[in-house]
Structure 1
Amino acid sequence: MFGFLDVPVSGAYHLIHALTGPLSTALAIVVFTLGVRLLLHPLARSAARGERARATLLPQLRTLQEKHGKDRDRLAAEMAKLQQESGTSLFTGCLPMLLQLPFFTIMYRLFTTPVIGGEPNSLLGATLLGTPLGAHGLSGSPLVFVIAAGLAVVAWFSVRLQAPQPDAPGGKLLRLLPYGTVLAILVLPQAAGLYLLTTTAWTAAERALLRRRS
């Protein structure tokens, strides 16, 4: 099903192995994740500018909701028209997250595939706190609880960093989304959990830094 990922997965496999030489496998995953986020940083800066632009549209969005709230099709059309006229998009901020999906999928496959590039996947034997990094969910205890606690802390900070926009479309849902990572770790391999913890911590720190500079 994901055969098109075989080449990037093989490349990532050898990269993680190269990093594991001077580092542990867990730390190699962290370094890999930080490299991905560094590559995506220009997009995050663009998303931050878009977020500030969207904030100026909130009064007009509230007006549209009050006027066309019962007519979803008309509301959607008017919102699209407003975005087009202002030159911004309500979904620009999602782009960095969406572009991470291929890298996250690669990390998932690295620790769930028994054979990579025609040879046994030696990463499956890597451990942290005595727990295999390929262990899923609660079978990865005690590491799963450590990662889940870290994700909960990062989610709390992420929510506090979000500008309060209760009347914005999807505003309440967006404030709950960061906590979804805590639930995700209950079904993912611990290596993918490390990726999530690193990338969400980067996102929180990045958002705080960009907001301070604005």
Structure 2
Amino acid sequence: MDLLSFPPIAAILDAAYALLMGLADLLHPLAGSASAALAVVVLTLLVRTILIPAGIAQAKAEQTRARLAPKLQALQRRYKNDRERMSRETMKLYADEKTSPLAGCAPVLIQAPIVGVVYALFLYPVIAGHPNALLTDQLLGVPLGASLVGTMAGGTATGATALMFGILLLVIVVVAEVTRRVFRPVVGASDAAPGVEAVARMAGFLQFGTAVVAIFVPLAAALYLVVTVTWTLVQRVVLRRRFPLGPVAG
């Protein structure tokens, strides 16, 4: 059974689709033929705004993990030969700090279904049993349902298609590189176990995975990805300043 055809999920998708197309109609006097693409951007911004509290919760959890890291490392060294005692002391530490090892997981779980529903609007040609008219609209002559790989494989790629996806991919790559540099994991002497630095470096380059995804998905989904990664970078920078991982001077 197709999960998206499950009645409750189909109803939610249909409501989200109606909102998206309603936005496109409202924006048409302003944006003309680009109104559907602009609606994708506006809806994505609305969703990211709604999810700001989840981002704040994640930032707080990240700050807590950074604050507790030295204490956890001390426990691991002290009880390295007594796994049961180390587990008890670890849980006691979390209890004393009024937090949990799973802190930060709840915001991710809350975001997942919301993001999943929105993302589905930009991927599937049929929504709740009716055609997804969004994907037939165009942005500067490129259908929102066209993907870079799909048009190249089908021999329908045009200069406009290459230019459009080229711009979007460039933005995603630039944002990924800035994110990698700004949020590069710091590997200290205490973390100098074999392979730790390599894992940290690999995690940084995973930022570029979105660019790979963008060449396979429809243009509407690629627009969503561009807005999302850009928003995420700005939000992380702002929240990192609000909830720094290290001690705050003064």
TM-score range, shorter chain: 0.7 to 0.9
When the two structures are superposed, what TM-score results if normalisation uses the length of structure 2?
A: 0.69
1:138 alignment partner AA: V
What is the match of residue 58 of structure 1?
69
Q: Secondary structure, in 3 states, of the residue corresponding to 1:21? A: helix
2:22 alignment partner AA: A
What is the match of residue 40 of structure 1?
51
- Distance across 2 between alignment mates of 1:188 and 1:47: 28
The count of corresponding residues between Structure 1 and Structure 2 is 213
1:66 shift after superposition = 6.2
- Distance across 2 between alignment mates of 1:69 and 1:26: 56
Output one character per residue of 1:162-188: Cα deviation in whole Å (capped at 9) or x when no partner: 263334987545433322211111222
Superposition pairs of residues 1-214 of structure 1, within 5 angstroms? 1-2=2-3, 3-4=5-6, 5-23=9-27, 24-63=35-74, 77=87, 81=91, 83-89=94-100, 92-93=103-104, 95-139=106-150, 141-142=161-162, 143-162=164-183, 164-166=185-187, 167=191, 171-214=200-243
| Contiguous gaps of at least 5 residues in structure 2 | 28-34, 152-160, 244-250
- Distance across 2 between alignment mates of 1:56 and 1:114: 47
1:124 shift after superposition = 1.8
Output one character per residue of 1:31-76: Cα deviation in whole Å (capped at 9) or x when no partner: 11111111111121122122111111222444566678999x87x9
* TM-aligned CA distance change 1:53 to 1:111, over 3 Å: closer
Give the fraction of aligned pairs with identical amino acids, expressed as a percent.
Answer: 37
* TM-aligned CA distance change 1:63 to 1:129, over 3 Å: farther
1:29·1:194 contact (CA, 8 Å) conserved in 2?
yes
* TM-aligned CA distance change 1:112 to 1:51, over 3 Å: closer
Output the aligned Cα RMSD: 3.4
1:88 shift after superposition = 3.6
Question: Is the radius of gyration larger for structure 1 or structure 2?
Answer: 2
2:147·2:215 contact (CA, 8 Å) conserved in 1?
yes
Output one character per residue of 1:130-173: Cα deviation in whole Å (capped at 9) or x when no partner: 22212234236323322221111111222233263334987545
2:184·2:204 contact (CA, 8 Å) conserved in 1?
no
- Distance across 1 between alignment mates of 2:80 and 2:202: 18
2:185 alignment partner AA: P
2:57·2:107 contact (CA, 8 Å) conserved in 1?
no
- Distance across 1 between alignment mates of 2:89 and 2:142: 49
